[in-house]
Amino acid sequence: MGMIHICEVEEVSSIEWKSISLTEQEEDLLRRMYKLVGNRWDLIAGRIPGRKPEELERFWIMAHWGKGLAS
């Protein structure tokens, strides 16, 4: 399953990664939800109106790249 995740990451251009921004409140909720449910992006996106699971995952990966994805 880890290899699938890495392949998905490589398919997204760096321009798309940079375009994702969250409000401070959204980031806080994302951190709290991730600690609670892990990488269940569909569930987390359901708690943040207007956000798609894919964009939250991309934001999370970029915010934690090099720090360990579970930080």
pLDDT band at 68 (very low <50, low <70, confident <90, very high): low
Note the pLDDT of residue 4: 44
Note the pLDDT of residue 62: 85
Note the pLDDT of residue 5: 46
Here the CATH number for the domain that contains residue 27 is: 1.10.10.60
Within a domain: residue 29? Answer: yes
Within a domain: residue 69? Answer: no
Contact predicate 60/30, CB 8 Å? yes
Count of domains forming the chain: 1
What is the span of the domain harbouring residue 20? 2-64
68 DSSP assignment? -
Distance from C-alpha of 62 to C-alpha of 47, rounded to nearest angstrom: 20
Contact predicate 35/43, CB 8 Å? no
Within a domain: residue 58? Answer: yes
Query: pLDDT digit string (tens) for 2-54?
Result: 444 444 545 555 555 566 789 999 999 999 999 999 999 999 999 999 999 99
Distance from C-alpha of 71 to C-alpha of 49, rounded to nearest angstrom: 24
Distance from C-alpha of 12 to C-alpha of 10, rounded to nearest angstrom: 6
* 63 pLDDT above the threshold of 80: yes
